[in-house]
Amino acid sequence: MLKTLNIKSSSRTELINITNDIIKIVKDCRVGSGICLLHVPHTTAAITINESADPDVVIDITVKMNEIVSRNSNYRHMEGNSDAHIKSSLFGPSLSLIIEDAKLLLGTWQNIYFCEFDGPRNRNLFIKIIS
Amino acid sequence: MLKTLNIKSSSRTELINITNDIIKIVKDCRVGSGICLLHVPHTTAAITINESADPDVVIDITVKMNEIVSRNSNYRHMEGNSDAHIKSSLFGPSLSLIIEDAKLLLGTWQNIYFCEFDGPRNRNLFIKIIS
Amino acid sequence: MLKTLNIKSSSRTELINITNDIIKIVKDCRVGSGICLLHVPHTTAAITINESADPDVVIDITVKMNEIVSRNSNYRHMEGNSDAHIKSSLFGPSLSLIIEDAKLLLGTWQNIYFCEFDGPRNRNLFIKIIS
């Protein structure tokens, strides 16, 4: 089963919590045991897992990543978004998650984030369920 | 099949070699061909593969990562572990490995490491086998 | 089904576009729906996805990564390639991709790159197809 989730980002750099969307998709597909593969079909975005209890955590992540991979550098690519391409490779475009007892298996503090590194844009996420 | 491995870290930052545990779990499940999905259910830890022949390699990894993602910065999150959350997203919470001929397929120098970034703690790792 | 792709790198640090090889392997295996798991069996190489339309993007990635993870530092490992080991863990040794309608599902700008961080060398990539 393949699903597509549409995501609308509102800033250049932004981590968007999509946990409830993915939990619902997994629940609706009624697969008891398997793998849920998330794939971001973009090269200036990514997917990750982190904490949501304190919203400052994802702000710290975006601020520090902007420091580590500076937006302005001696980049050759002329579109001004080489930093976004690099962050995309560092965080990764895909994530495989466990489905057990017909539910997504996440840790207590784990939430799934779509990582926008060159927004605002309309983005997609593919969700593939394998049982 | 789902298994849980308990891991006890003894330092704040530490790469713990769990290769033999995973090899044994894969062997015991008697799956001839498939995927072994490792999932760390924490947001200040991760999973990676690297060399074990020279134990200095994983020391270099932890020391350099402490330089790249400094522990002290203008972080907003007040628990003092924003660096650990960032490293968790950089290394990633999950890893998919190939099972072939009823064995885990790893390169000669590849070992599997549980990455502790905010220890010492008691941690878990989920192992899902799909055939 | 398990396939091995041989890759020959020609520089120390190099991103090699292997998209067409993987597309062909997926097509030839005639699996309608599933997962294509790519595994790099090395500890100084990795696998990633990024843009190919402008070849400067992957040059920017390699140059900036050489800045972030400097080749010379107070490394303990004596082989002079600790930076390559660190980059291997940051980019990751494996990548799971979606197969849908008997084709690899990639975004318009997405290309698959074998990441050489300690070449030139002869390398392998394992490709496992699960339906």
Does A100 touch chain B if contact means CB atoms closer than 8 Å?
yes
Residue B3: its pLDDT value, please?
98
> Are the beta carbons of B50 and C85 separated by less than 8 Å?
yes
> Are the beta carbons of A88 and C34 separated by less than 8 Å?
no
pLDDT in tens, A85-108: 999 999 999 999 999 999 999 999
Does A57 touch chain B if contact means CB atoms closer than 8 Å?
yes
Chain A residues within an 8 Å CB radius of C106: 41
Confidence of residue C35 (pLDDT cuts 50, 70, 90): very high
CB-nearest partner of B56 from C39, C76, C92: C76
Share of chain B above pLDDT 70, in %: 100
Are residues C1 and C29 in contact, defined by beta-carbon separation less than 8 angstroms?
yes
CB-nearest partner of C107 from A41, A85, A96: A41
DSSP, collapsed to helix, strand or coil, labels residue A12 as coil
Confidence of residue C64 (pLDDT cuts 50, 70, 90): very high
Q: Which residues pair with B116 in a beta bridge?
A: B14, B45
Does B106 touch chain C if contact means CB atoms closer than 8 Å?
yes
**Residue owning tokens 């999150």:** B77
Does B31 touch chain C if contact means CB atoms closer than 8 Å?
no
Q: Please state, rounded to an integer, the average pLDDT across all residues of chain B.
A: 97
Please give the CATH number for the structural domain made up of A2-130: 2.60.120.460
Which among B70, B15, B72 has a CA at the least distance from the CA of B46?
A: B15
Does A74 touch chain C if contact means CB atoms closer than 8 Å?
yes
Answer whether the bond into residue B41 is a cis peptide, omega within 30°. Answer: no
> Are the beta carbons of B77 and A57 separated by less than 8 Å?
yes
Residue A29: its pLDDT value, please?
95
**Residue owning tokens 């599933």:** C34
Residue A40: its pLDDT value, please?
98
The predicted model gives B57-75 an average pLDDT of 96
Determine if the pTM surpasses 0.90. Answer: yes
* Inter-chain Cβ pairs, chain B and chain C, closer than 8 A: 89
Backbone phi, then psi, for B5, in 5-degree steps? -110, 130
Residue A122: its pLDDT value, please?
98
Does A2 touch chain C if contact means CB atoms closer than 8 Å?
yes
Residue B106: its pLDDT value, please?
98
pLDDT in tens, A114-129: 999 999 999 999 999 9
pLDDT in tens, A17-49: 999 999 999 999 999 999 999 999 999 999 999
CA-CA-CA-CA torsion sign (B46, B48, B53, B59) = negative
